[in-house]
Structure 1
Amino acid sequence: MKKFYFIFILIFIIQYSYAQKADRIVKKPLLRYESSFGISFNTDGWGGGYRYGKAKTFKNKKVWDISFYFIRDTKQYRYYNKYDNSAKSFFFGKQIHFYSLQILRGREKILTEKPYWGGVEIRYFYFGGVNLGIGKPIYMYIVDFVNGGVLSLEKYDVQKHDLENIWGRGPFSKGLSEIEFHPGLSWKMGLNVEFGPYQEKTKALEAGFIIDAYVLPVQIMGFDTPKYAMIRLYLAYRFGKRYNANN
């Protein structure tokens, strides 16, 4: 028990001395602007983006967040042609490639400030804005067994093409002229954990969730019901810099 009290008092003295020392440290000047890039891994794909912020105070920042995501369906499964290794793999049931371009505006606020010697700083953020979904149809090489196994390149249709009729995935360029746009809104919220000793350079891990809502429904998998909304969790790594306008 005496050892416990001794350790407790020792920890208290150390923390108190750090606090006193921190009080004597002159705060670094406010760097008003922040610019960073990030790559994120989502529950339904991956993506990347750019973020620009302007600090109003040490703990409050207005932010622009621009992101582009490659979105997949969690139920998609890759198939291979067991008769021809040169045939491209495909996802049975997947009718479109889907992407999302988001331009969001919001705030970022500090929960726990980074100590003067470096360490970890935790922030929370909330953004909202416009979202443009982009759907490109998928083309497949289809085997026509009725006409002697002739191959033809066709837009994939789950109601028309069975698994045994698909020879392989067609070229990505096919279907670019048939792209459909899905306008909508998006919201992003989460926590940002910055680490490292430097104020001018930023490195951070970020976790949160994104909600997308579309005016026109999105149907990635042909067997599923078209969706007007999508929710995803994500984990991201961000890196960038802080500066003032005259830097």
Structure 2
Amino acid sequence: MQKFTFFFVLFFIQSLFGLSQNLPEDMPKIFYRNEKTIALNLNSNGWGLGYRYGSRINVFEKRIYELDFSIIKHSKEISSSNSSIFSSESFVFGKQNNIFDLRFGYGKQNELFRKPDAGAVAVRYFYSVGPSVVIQKPIYYEILYRLNDSTYTIKEEKFNPTIHTSDDINGKSSFFKGFDEIKLIPGLFFKTGFNFEFSQKETTVHAIEAGILLQAYLKNLDIMAVDDNQQYFFTLFVCYRIGKITNAQQISPDYLRRHKKKINLLNWM
């Protein structure tokens, strides 16, 4: 978490430094355009994938519709193995459930700085809010029960902190074991951040995003067999976003004349 926070702050400072550079006086071509993008997200408590559709409101604003799927991890997760068993597979000792988060978001994206030319960087800020649902799936382990000094039997069981030790575990059972015990936990989220779009083509999107994600659920998410499982999460994230432009249209000269003050103000900022 500390390393993630350090790199996040470093990335943000470098981005702000980039904003202080003067933009050329010549205005670039301006387009109305919708966007379809997919993203790889790295969060301070996991990782995930996302899809976003941006629908234009005007030359500066878009409505955004998002679908994100992520894996939530606990800060105490440490991968280990049973050193006394040669064929032991890796596992996280004390982990009780896999946590998958599905989020449906609606929000807006506003452009702060447009690209002066191809190869430059457009800067936007965005936010989205909406419902989420956690899929909480139990984890089963292969538990060793010794019959004597040389033989043992294996049973598939969920982790029990009162009786199981790391020496009792051979590895995890099949991922599909426990699907019939899945629990759904509803919640809400709010996400906001900055988008830095640097594609060299008008018809594609390549962007880096950084921001914060707030998540709240109806009850604690039982990730580990510990007392500090949480119900509320404050998360930092960065993501790489790639996609394409749809319905691109050039803005008329009349529109530019009528909105000249706003465009000049954005360039001055």
Report the TM-score when normalising by structure 1: 0.85
Answer with 1 or 2: which has the greater Rg.
1
The C-alpha deviation readout for 1:179-226, integer Å capped at 9, x for no partner, is 111101011111110003322211000111111110122120111333
- Correspondence 1:114 to 2:111: no
Distance 1:117 1:98, change over 3 A: closer
Report if aligned partners of 2:118, 2:201 keep a CA contact under 8 Å in 1.
no
- Give the whole-Å Cα distance in 1 for the aligned partners of 2:93 and 2:58: 52
Report if aligned partners of 1:95, 1:158 keep a CA contact under 8 Å in 2.
no
- Give the whole-Å Cα distance in 2 for the aligned partners of 1:224 and 1:166: 22
1:8 corresponds to: none
2:185 corresponds to: 182
Report if aligned partners of 2:39, 2:240 keep a CA contact under 8 Å in 1.
yes
Aligned residue pair count = 225
Moved over 6 A (4+): none
Q: Give the superposition deviation at 1:83.
A: 3.1
1:52 corresponds to: 53
Report if aligned partners of 2:192, 2:212 keep a CA contact under 8 Å in 1.
yes
- Give the whole-Å Cα distance in 1 for the aligned partners of 2:106 and 2:100: 20
2:145 corresponds to: 144
The amino acid that maps onto 1:192 is N
2:226 corresponds to: 223
Q: Give the superposition deviation at 1:116.
A: 3.4
RMSD after superposition: 2.0
- Give the whole-Å Cα distance in 2 for the aligned partners of 1:101 and 1:205: 22
Higher-strand-fraction structure:
1
- Correspondence 1:158 to 2:140: no
1:30 corresponds to: 32
The amino acid that maps onto 1:191 is F
Q: Give the superposition deviation at 1:30.
A: 1.5
The amino acid that maps onto 2:140 is Y
The amino acid that maps onto 2:158 is K
Distance 1:167 1:117, change over 3 A: closer
- Correspondence 1:195 to 2:198: yes
Unpaired segments of 5 or more residues in structure 1?
1-14
Report the TM-score when normalising by structure 2: 0.78
